[in-house]
A = this chain, B = another copy of it.
Amino acid sequence: MSTYKAPLDDIRFVLFDVLHADAAFQRLGFADATRDILDAVMDEGARFCETVLAPLNAVGDQAGCTLDKTSGQVTTPPGFKEAYAEYAAGGWAGLSSPEAFGGQGLPHAAGVPIKEMIDAANLSWGNFPLLSHGATEALLHHGEDWQREAFLRPLVEGRWTGTMCLTEPHCGSDLGLLKTRAEPRDDGSHAITGTKIFITAGEHDFTDNIVHLVLARLPDAPAGSKGISLFVVPKVRVDREGAMGEANAVRCGSLEHKMGIHGSATCVINFDGAQGYLVGQPHKGLMGMFTMMNSARLAVGLQGLGLSDRALQNALRYSRERLQMRALSGPRHPEKAADPIIVHPDVRRMLLTCKSLVEGGRAMAYHSALLLDEAHDADAEARAAADALLGFMTPIVKACLTEWGVECTYHALQCFGGHGYIAEHGMEQLARDARITTLYEGTTGIQALDLLGRKVIQLQGAGLKVMLGMVEAFCTEHAHDERLAPFVGPLQAKAAEWQQLTTHIARAAAGNADEIGAAAYDYLMYSGYVALAYWWARSVAAADASPHADAFKQDKRDTATFYFARILPRTLAHAAAIESGIASLPELDEA
């Protein structure tokens, strides 16, 4: 079975030594978010994840969720419900929610380590509270006062959970095609009718109500994506005073049989004239969804990060225990029957690939979470810059950290050899669970189009400019630092190339919009690798400037060296693909 230990040392290094998040929180007005409080929250979060959630990870995979077709009730795996009760009682559901609605009022970036730990400990379980956050944000920013009191407070307090009901059988990426209908009723509510699929945590036994946020069409809706409205549709009816009434016409029709995340309930939800209330303006529902997308996409990126870290931890342990063959340069441990496989350079290559992607990825992801908070900065210029950079980085964090999650769980399993393929070691579960993350909340291809089509081309590279400015400032600051020379020079060269490739694509796209699609994936991955090079260079500088032990500093330096030598060159292949353009993507028979 795979084990999990929360990487608190590296989490603190990223938050406090690299990002100086404690100072940022004070500047942003989060008076309670002191270093002491944050440390205590993380210690307690780590305990909960290590001792309560992690032991349930294999249980969830084996038992899965079950649906009683007669009652439409879903039973979650043994222990899941009790773990949720502890989570809600601990106030975790509202960690980053406003105190006015019962939350803890901590910054987003303070909640991110907890999210990473939950995902690493038990991704399937973590998916139950995950979408509450999206529902919370939708109601907070777009709901009426009574909706906030009636629905938001129980979500923040963890008494209910939330879902996001977007996908239908015939429409996933293309929400403009959706068919679910909303008919106005005399009492101001709407009757919602339609079938939604892939609804994470759509039904469960954790709480006595579930708040569905549902996209549907009003009778007078224009066709396409401009005719979609957002509704709040509870599982059990709720009146305008927040009192629960009878069951609503909302029913789980079936559970999907999936490759992984067996402990998560992925539901078909049928709405059969269910009572719902319009949230925000008619026909503007998609805009409401977009506002919560940044945090939801960052959250899925964190899932990739958490799974990668857990996979790496287990691969490191196994590579130290497993004795097999001698080092080619001569026995390292002659007293043993063979050397531990960690001595073999190729095993180190796999481990260091994971290590460099996990630790660098953590800095990148946590920084983006901090941007979520900085997007509410009092200073308008700082706010605009943070918002632009957040929009630019969100698809990169989501897509790269999940693609790397698939890669890291692959390498970690590979370190186990044939044993990795056997269920009892738990590595294959991590690989199966990781596989969902590049699909849901927008596939990698969708993230790539968001990045290149919207954030770069449409918004004229505002976010990229902020990013390149940050890189340039760092390089200038350390231009004469010999210890950073191995990183600053290559980083500067890559930043210049990044700009050139962007200009190249923008020119090509002006002539043929399909050039955007032809470059999008490679541009996304290229951007992720260059961004990670920046975060690695900054991590080395931060470690050197920190009070950490020399071994810690050397470890950061070694991992950065590996990253620059062996991972960053992947940008060469991506750049070549970008430059080849649409001409190298011949059309295929369409019928």
Question: Interface size for chain A: under 10, 10 to 19, 20 to 34, or 35 or more residues?
Answer: 35 or more
Q: Given A257-B424, A439-B418, A565–B580 Cβ distance below 8 Å?
A: yes
Closest to A319 in B: B588
B residues near A439, Cβ cutoff 8 Å: 414, 417-418, 420-421
For residue A228, give the distance in angstroms from its CB to the closest CB of chain B: 15
User: When the two chains form the complex, which single residue of B332, B338, B428 contacts A258, counting CB atoms closer than 8 Å?
Assistant: B428
Taken residue by residue from 242 to 270, chain A's Cβ proximity to chain B (1 for < 8 Å, 0 otherwise) reads as: 00000000000000111110000000000
A570 an interface residue at 8 Å Cβ cutoff?
Answer: yes
Q: Which of A167, A177, A345 has the most CB of B within 10 A?
A: A345
* A564 closest partner in B (C-beta): B584
**Chain B residues whose C-beta falls within 8 Å of the C-beta of A432 in the assembled complex:** 259, 432
CA–CA, A518 and B348, complex, Å: 9
Q: Which of A318-360 contact B (CB under 8 A)?
A: 319-320, 323-325, 327-330, 332-333, 337-338, 340, 342-352
Tell me if A212 is interfacial: C-beta within 8 Å of chain B: no
CA of A332 to CA of B513, assembled, Å? 13
Would you give the shortest CB distance from A119 to chain B, in whole angstroms? 17
Chain B min CB distance to A373 (Å): 31
In the complex, A440 has a CB within 8 A of chain B: yes
Contact B435 A320 (CB under 8 A): no
Which among A413, A517, A520 has the greatest number of chain B C-beta atoms within 10 A?
A517
Hey, which chain B residues are within 8 Å of A320, CB to CB?
589-591
Is A208 an interface position by the 8 A CB rule?
Answer: no
A588 is contacted by which of B256, B330, B342 (Cβ under 8 Å)? B342
Closest chain B residue to A442, Cβ basis: B417
Any chain B CB within 8 A of the CB of A410? Answer: yes
Interface hit among A103-111, A280-288, A299-307, A443-451: A443-451
Grouping DSSP codes into helix (H, G, I), strand (E, B) and loop, the A interface class, with mixed when no group exceeds half, is helix
Interface residues of A in 446-494 (CB under 8 A from B): 448-449, 453
Contact A316 B170 (CB under 8 A): no
B513 touching A328 by the CB < 8 A rule? yes
Within the complex, what minimum Cβ distance (angstroms) separates A486 from chain B?
Answer: 11
Is A431 among interface residues, defined by CB-CB distance under 8 A? yes
- A565/B558 in contact, CB under 8 A: no
Among the 9-residue stretches A81-89, A290-298, A571-579, the one with 4 or more Cβ atoms under 8 Å from chain B is A571-579
Q: Inside 8 A of A139's CB, which chain B residues have their CB?
A: none
The residues of B that contact A589 with a CB separation of less than 8 Å are: 320
Question: Who on chain B is nearest to A569 by CB?
Answer: B576
Contact present for A417 and B172 (CB under 8 Å): yes
Contact A448 B346 (CB under 8 A): yes
A324 partner residues in chain B, CB cutoff 8 A: 171-174, 177
User: Which chain B residues border A352 with CB–CB below 8 Å?
Assistant: 585-586, 588
Please give, as numbers and ranges, the residues of chain B lying within 8 Å of A173 by CB-CB distance. Answer: 324-325, 417
Q: Which residues of B contact A436 (CB under 8 A)?
A: 421
Q: Are A421 and B585 in contact (CB under 8 A)?
A: no
A512 within 8 A of B: yes
Q: A151 contacts the other chain (Cβ, under 8 Å)?
A: no
Given contacts A256-B423, A259-B431, A418-B439, 17 further A-B contacts (CB under 8 A): A173-B324, A174-B338, A257-B423, A258-B421, A258-B422, A259-B422, A260-B421, A328-B517, A345-B514, A347-B445, A348-B587, A421-B435, A562-B584, A562-B585, A565-B577, A566-B580, A569-B576
5 closest cross-chain pairs (CB), A and B: A565-B584, A345-B517, A569-B576, A558-B586, A259-B428
What are 19 pairs between A and B in contact, CB < 8 Å? A172-B419, A174-B324, A174-B325, A174-B338, A198-B418, A258-B428, A259-B422, A259-B423, A259-B432, A328-B517, A346-B448, A347-B445, A348-B586, A349-B518, A414-B444, A417-B443, A562-B584, A565-B576, A569-B576
